[in-house]
Amino acid sequence: MRDNASSDATRNASQALLLWLAFILASILINATIPFMLGADVRTWTDSAAKYILSGLVIYGGLFLIAPLVLAKGWQVVRQPTCLVLLGLAVLDAGFWNVFRGDTV
């Protein structure tokens, strides 16, 4: 039983490391590489609604909400219709919260 717990801890650690690597790669792509490849001005991209939506959907919705939930609970639980509907709403909220929050300045 001790070996099983050790292998679970190793698997969880490697999954967490892969998620962090995916986060770093996605951040680099969203913040600099994609606009540079498209020939856009990186300064205007930094404060654009498209960047906020893309980073909210990919990073917060995908990497920080969906991926850990699937890893912790499994795809069998997450793919249930009630979970998918609520998870979809949460991902949409993560994607659009920074665009529609309004300025408080």
Q: What is the pLDDT of residues 3-24, one digit of tens each?
A: 677 888 899 899 999 999 999 9
Extents of the domains making up the chain: 2-100
As a whole number, mean pLDDT of residues 92-96 equals 91
pLDDT digits (tens, 9 = 90+) for 38-89: 777 778 888 888 888 999 999 999 999 999 999 999 999 999 999 999 999 9
pLDDT of amino acid 105: 47
CA 16 to chain centre: 13
Specify the DSSP class assigned to residue 70: H
Q: Is the pLDDT assigned to residue 104 strictly greater than 60?
A: no
Task: Please provide the average confidence, as pLDDT, over all residues in the chain.
Answer: 87
Over its C-alpha atoms, the chain yields an Rg (Å, rounded) of: 17
pTM of the model: 0.78
Say how many C-beta atoms besides its own lie within 10 A of residue 36's C-beta.
Answer: 12
* pLDDT value of residue 103: 58
Task: Note whether 32 and 42 are within 8 A (CB).
Answer: yes
Closest among 55, 62, 52 to 90, alpha carbons compared:
62
